[in-house]
Amino acid sequence: MGTALVYDEEMTRYKLLWLDPDCEIERPERLTSSHEALLQSGLATRCVSIPVRQATDTEILLIHSQEYLEAVKKTPYMTLQDLQQFTQLYGAVYFHPNSYHCATLAVGAALQLVDGVLTGTVRNGIALVRPPGHHSMRSAASGFCIFNNVAIATKYAQKKYGVQRVLIVDWDIHHGQGVQYAFEDDPSVLYFSWHRYEHQKFWPELRDSDYDSVGKDKGLGFNINVPWNKVGMENSDYLAAFFHVLLPVAYEFCPDLVIVCAGFDSAVGDPEGEMCATPDIFAHLTHLLMNLAGGKLCAVLEGGYNLTSLGQSVCATVQTLLGDPAPRPADLQSPSQSALESIHCVRAAHRNFWSSFQHSPAAPPSEVSTKRVKREEKDERTQRGGATDSEDAVTWPEPQKRRPPPVRTAAVIPEDASCPDGCRRFNISQREDFSNDSTGASLTALVGKMEKNEICNGLALVSDVSTAMAAVIQHASALKQRVLVVCVGGTRIQSHMPEDGTTLTVHFNKEVLEEPRCKYYIPVHLKRGFGDVSGFTQATLGLLLPIAYQYDPGLVLLAQAPSKDRPSSSCWQQLVGLLLGLAQARVLVLLREGHEAFIGPTASSLTGTPAPSLGQVGASQAEDFEALDGLRRRLQVDWKLLRTSVQEHEDEDN
Ligand code: TWS
Ligand code: ZN
């Protein structure tokens, strides 16, 4: 199951033919340099090349009007003057005699990608296209977009393959109003977009882009806008929006297919977005979406105008689609006040539609409304044009080289048990081991190999989880690695954990445990255990992941402690899959003897197979949700990525 790359040089063969400083950022080099970056890094050859094709009229008419299609069809025969005049009919777009041809190829590329993923030829993929699509509307071009590539691909997937629910994630820095308008009354398509908004001062300057556009009629709740009201948003702001807005809703929605409006103008260095998130963050955004819809993910290029930043971001995305471990999410700050304000408002606006938000405060506190700035107060649009000195000066660290270890997954399992698919058996035999604890010796040797980047991750079947855990922690701390311990089930952690921050323990349990006794020991009470999908998602997405990302461990230890109830296998696989985003996927899973049934599913997730979907998450158990939300609020003093709203009394570091 590979990763598709859909690309054709033909889409570089149109450009701006007259002087217009606003339009010149959208150049053919955007595609050539992205493709070149994939070739240079060796990623292109690891992908499955799928050819583009022209979309048919019928396909384009899935979204656009006949009149509009006929009008665009005439552009190849227009004079320069006619083209300029035609361009004037719309906003922020230009036409060229070859634009129409390229626009049909861009749609066709997205459809070829959907075909590849839905026929099972590939698991996922990316289409590198020009022109982009997300601004284009039923009868109008807009923002460099002619046909709405992603909206057409969505309808096509539903019609041709009977796909029911499609999640569209628009991480471009502009609001894809064309996608919003295409599906705002349609509950089968969930559209999520974050975008630079600045209280409606940023293009396309629409009232419809604010957090309170939540969809219409049957589609109420299925349109989610996160407006960014300040520039300079960072990795932690984007992650907070994923953890506290998109992911809880996406898991509740349970899509059959994920399509990403993959614009990279949301990355640092982009002259349009002016944000500060690094290209590496796209590895995490991609990873966090890869366990939805059984891994069926189609990324379609939208914007991105700093060629360096764009190339790095495309590579980060593709390398993650290929299954390589994501780089460590180093040094995450607290989300900014402005970002938290927006996140708070979105959750409040959607609290009646999604059970994950039903305990959010009803209305945004009056003082933090995002509509403080009135439309009339809008100041003059600043001079646009070529990059200014300050834009040229934007720099960021070179992305880490991601070298996946030669062995992906090792298994420490009894000699008589068969080795699961895709795993390397890793047992120190009794003969070589002088300590008389061959499992313990195997585990410490395995951690050593993980540390040396020879093996990525592993699983072990052990008779005593506590003893094994203690051995691993001791060894890892000798290697000066922060360890995240995630414990599922069991009544009490036997071994004594250091409380100096070298390990962080999150303990999920059915029983009521004690209150957090220090910042680094977090008991999480799940009344109905890990078999309860809504409790699991709330606890994992809203609590565990934000804490874990902020902690940034060098090793993750996931252990099944002795207990009567077991997590459902699909929840367990989702947990394993999501934890692989941390510590460069250095995850060691400890399974108890007697739980042999978990070996296969665990191995499958560790080797990179997407976890099965959890099913549409039904009505939640209010008690669990309230308790978990209460815990989240108590912990956010220490773990700032848990915040979903501004603090009443701000502490000094913010
Ligand atoms: C979309 C930038 C003109 C006036 C005001 C066309 C040039 C133009 C572009 C904004 C724009 C729109 C993207 C990037 C994008 C203008 C223009 C605004 N914009 N969307 O004459 O990347 O994802
Ligand atoms: Zn954009």
Q: Using the 3D structure, point to which of 374, 399, 416 is the last residue of a domain.
A: 374
- Catalytically active residues are 135
Residue ID of nearest Cα to ligand 1 atom 5: 92
Average of per-residue pLDDT values in the chain = 91
Q: Does 67 map to a domain?
A: yes
Please give the model's pTM, rounded to 2 decimal places: 0.95
In terms of domains, do 435 and 292 share one? no
What does the pLDDT look like over 359-391, one tens digit per residue? Answer: 888 765 554 445 545 444 434 444 444 445 555
Count structural domains, the chain. 2
Q: Does 582 map to a domain?
A: yes
Q: How many whole angstroms separate alpha carbon 487 and alpha carbon 90?
A: 56
Residue ID of nearest Cα to ligand 1 atom 6: 92
In terms of domains, do 349 and 452 share one? no
Q: How many whole angstroms separate alpha carbon 38 and alpha carbon 46?
A: 10
Query: Which ligand 1 atom minimizes the distance to the CA of 134?
Result: 23
Q: Using the 3D structure, point to which of 374, 396, 431 is the last residue of a domain.
A: 374
How many CB atoms are located within 10 Å of the residue 456 CB? 25
Instruction: State the pLDDT at residue 391.
Output: 54
What does the pLDDT look like over 590-607, one tens digit per residue? Answer: 999 988 999 999 999 999
CATH code, domain carrying 269: 3.40.800.20
In terms of domains, do 511 and 617 share one? yes
In terms of domains, do 557 and 445 share one? yes
Q: Does 446 map to a domain?
A: yes
Instruction: State the pLDDT at residue 499.
Output: 78
Q: Does 129 map to a domain?
A: yes
In terms of domains, do 507 and 607 share one? yes
| Ligand positioned closest to the Cα atom of 22 | 1
In terms of domains, do 324 and 454 share one? no
Ligand 1 pocket mutation, candidates 203, 265, 274, 300, criterion most atoms within 8 A of CB: 203
Query: Which ligand 1 atom minimizes the distance to the CA of 263?
Result: 23
Instruction: State the pLDDT at residue 392.
Output: 61
In terms of domains, do 71 and 141 share one? yes
> 198: phi > 0 → left, psi -120 to 50 → alpha, else beta; which?
left
* Ion ligand 2 residues within 5 Å by Cβ: 172, 174, 263, 265, 303
pLDDT less than 50: residues of the chain: 367-369, 372, 374-387, 650-654
Residue among 18, 259, 302 at smallest CA distance from 172: 302
Q: Does 641 map to a domain?
A: no
Instruction: State the pLDDT at residue 367.
Output: 45
Residue ID of nearest Cα to ligand 1 atom 9: 92
In terms of domains, do 414 and 345 share one? no
Residue ID of nearest Cα to ligand 1 atom 13: 143
How many angstroms is it from 94 CA to the middle of ligand 2?
15
How many angstroms is it from 31 CA to the middle of ligand 2?
15
Q: Does 503 map to a domain?
A: yes
| C-alpha distances out from residue 36 to 40, 41, 51, 314, Å | 6, 9, 17, 11
In terms of domains, do 40 and 144 share one? yes
Domain hosting residue 490, numbered range: 407-625
Q: Does 332 map to a domain?
A: yes
How many CB atoms are located within 10 Å of the residue 492 CB? 12
> 615: phi > 0 → left, psi -120 to 50 → alpha, else beta; which?
left
Residues whose CB is less than 8 angstroms from the CB of residue 612 and which lie 6 or more positions away in sequence, other chains included: 294, 570, 573
Instruction: State the pLDDT at residue 621.
Output: 67
Q: Does 180 map to a domain?
A: yes
Ligand 1 pocket mutation, candidates 228, 265, 272, 383, criterion most atoms within 8 A of CB: 272
Ligand 1 pocket mutation, candidates 144, 148, 149, 195, criterion most atoms within 8 A of CB: 144
In terms of domains, do 366 and 449 share one? no
How many CB atoms are located within 10 Å of the residue 414 CB? 11
In terms of domains, do 437 and 297 share one? no
How many angstroms is it from 31 CA to the middle of ligand 1?
17
How many angstroms is it from 58 CA to the middle of ligand 1?
28
In terms of domains, do 345 and 429 share one? no
